[in-house]
Amino acid sequence: MWLEVGKGSDSGVLVTYITSVGPRRIGIMDRRLGVREGKEEANMDAPGEQMTCNEAERCLSCNRPACAVQCPVGVKIREVIGLLRQGDIPGAARKLREDNSLPGVTARLCPQEKLCEGGCILGRRGEPVAIGNIERFIADYERESGAPGLPEIAARTGKSVAILGSGPAGLAAAGDLIQLGHRVRVFEERNEIGGVLAYGIPETLLPREVLRSEVENLRRMGVEFETDSVLGKNAGVDELMGEMGYEAVYVADGGETACNGKRGVFTGGEIAVDADSVIVAMGLGRKAAQGIDEYLRTGLGTRD
Ligand code: SF4
């Protein structure tokens, strides 16, 4: 362990800080870049508990954590790391899942060096906290333990939302809306949940076992799934909002739809096409979920 002392400006205030730069952060990011270049397999050598806890100790618990500001889904990274430092891994997983429905997925796919880790203050004078590694450790630990740390679910509102498409945007919206107390059913036209995660990302980057485990956690939280559904092709909005009784529909299939402009029908913007865009699509799914929640509670709210 060695220390580096320096001066810097955090939000305009000149501060003297001591940056812990050792032990060196663990480098899953480097490995992931290697995978993209076809050199390595992404899922070997997952970070161990001791290494991850050492890494968590490097976090400065900043008053204004820039890491979280740069996360497209707004994960409360400082709080997650704080719980991990207390040895509360299930609590850290719960906190992580409050904002991120798919932590095992994003830990493997996110370009953290441009996002949360790119904002980490330690990166100004040394190496940023290996946030992606920490996220992956928490997600893998809970998957292997069989005891997922799931977030609290609000009291039921009695409102129902149908989500058409089970890609990253749809799953992110499903995770948020179920936490807010709404009934959520995801319709997928194919026989596997995940959209681009199931059909577009190679197994070397994202093992299907990880994806299925995340889907199972959403199911445990109460999200319903329907595969091989013609409704997942966006053909049944009228039916969903009519005889099937849904108050809102989120069209998360990424394509242009014929139902834009209908009251209670929300669209999700862009579709994820590769690993880097998964987290962007999830951020759009969260935004759609906020609009849907507002609409369901007040009758107002934007459509997209
Ligand atoms: S910016 Fe870096 S040091 Fe500060 S809270 Fe986030 S991870 Fe910790």
Residue 157 β-bridge partners: none
122 touches ligand 1 (CB under 6 Å): yes
Per-residue exposure over 179-203, b if at least 16 CB sit within 10 Å of its own CB, e if not: bbbbbbbbbbbeebbbbbbbebbee
H/E element, 15: strand 13-20
Alpha carbon of 207 to ligand 1 centroid (Å): 29
Closest atom of ligand 1 relative to the 131 alpha carbon = 7
Does residue 57 have a pLDDT over 80? Answer: yes
With CA atoms as reference, report the closest residue to 132 among 108, 150, 101: 108
pLDDT at 172: 96
Mean pLDDT for 42-53 is 71
Q: What is the dihedral of CA 186, 187, 192, 194, to 10 degrees?
A: -50
Question: Whose C-alpha lies nearest to ligand 1, atom 1?
Answer: 120
Average pLDDT value for residue range 177-194:
95
Spatial CB neighbours of 54, under 8 Å, sequence gap ≥ 6: 23
pLDDT tier at 255, thresholds 50, 70, 90? low
Sign of CA dihedral 115, 120, 121, 126: negative
Question: How much of the chain exceeds pLDDT 90, in percent?
Answer: 57
> Across the beta sheet with 160-164, what order do the strands follow?
224-226, 183-187, 160-164, 248-251, 265-267
**With contact defined as beta carbons under 8 Å apart, do 161 and 184 qualify?**
yes
Cβ(118) – ligand 1 distance below 6 Å: no
Can you list the pairs that 8-14 forms with residues at least 24 positions away whose Cβ atoms lie under 8 Å?
8/121, 8/124, 8/125, 10/62, 10/64, 10/121, 11/64
> For residues 162 and 246, is the Cβ–Cβ distance under 8 A?
yes
Ligand 1 contact via 66 beta carbon (within 6 Å) = yes
Of the chain, the percentage scoring pLDDT greater than 70 comes to 77
| Gap from CA of 271 to ligand 1 centroid (Å) | 30
48 DSSP 8-state letter: P
So what's the pLDDT on residue 264?
Answer: 85
pLDDT of residue 296: 94
C-alpha 215 to ligand 1 mean position (Å): 29
- In this prediction, residue 275 carries a pLDDT of 83
Fold of 3-145: Fumarate Reductase Iron-sulfur Protein; Chain B, domain 2 (1.10.1060)
Ligand 1, residue 68: give the atom nearest the CA. Answer: 6
Q: What pLDDT does 301 receive?
A: 54
Q: Is 78 in the pocket of ligand 1 (CB under 6 A)?
A: yes
pLDDT of residue 67: 96
- 183 CB less than 6 Å from ligand 1? no
At 105-164, the pLDDT tens digits run: 999 999 998 999 999 999 998 999 999 989 999 999 888 888 888 999 999 999 999 999
Compute the average pLDDT of residues 196-205.
91
- Is 75's C-beta closer than 6 angstroms to any atom of ligand 1? no
Cβ–ligand 1 distance for 130 under 6 Å, the answer no
Q: Ligand 1 mean position to 60 CA, how many Å?
A: 6
Q: How close is the Cα of 87 to the center of ligand 1, in Å?
A: 18
| Residues 288, 292, 293, 295, CA torsion sign | positive
More confident of the two residues 302 and 185: 185
Please give the residue that has the higher pLDDT: either 35 or 168: 168
CB 171 less than 6 A from any atom of ligand 1:
no
Residue 50's Cα: distance from chain center in Å?
Answer: 24
Which tokens is 172 given?
């992110």
- Does the C-beta of 60 come closer than 6 Å to ligand 1? yes
H/E segment holding residue 162: strand 160-164
- Nearest-CA residue for atom 4 of ligand 1: 62
Q: Which atom of ligand 1 is nearest to the CA of 123?
A: 2
User: What spacing in Å lies between the alpha carbon of 131 and ligand 1's midpoint?
Assistant: 9
Q: What is the pLDDT of residue 274?
A: 80
Question: What's the CA-to-centroid distance between 288 and ligand 1, angstroms?
Answer: 28
pLDDT digits 0-9 by tens, 73-112: 999 999 999 999 999 999 999 999 999 999 999 999 999 9
Q: Where are the domains of the chain?
A: 3-145, 160-298
Ligand 1 within 6 A of 59 CB? yes
Report the C-alpha gap between 219 and 224 in whole angstroms. Answer: 6
User: pLDDT tens digits for 206-248?
Assistant: 999 999 999 999 999 999 999 998 765 555 788 888 888 999 9
Confidence of residue 25 (pLDDT cuts 50, 70, 90): low
pLDDT of 23? 44
Q: Quick one: CATH architecture of 160-298? A: 3-Layer(bba) Sandwich (3.50)
Q: Given a cut of 90, is residue 183 above it in pLDDT?
A: yes
Q: What does pLDDT average to over the chain?
A: 82
65 alpha carbon to ligand 1 midpoint, in Å? 5
Per the CB < 8 A criterion, the answer to whether 252 and 170 are in contact is yes
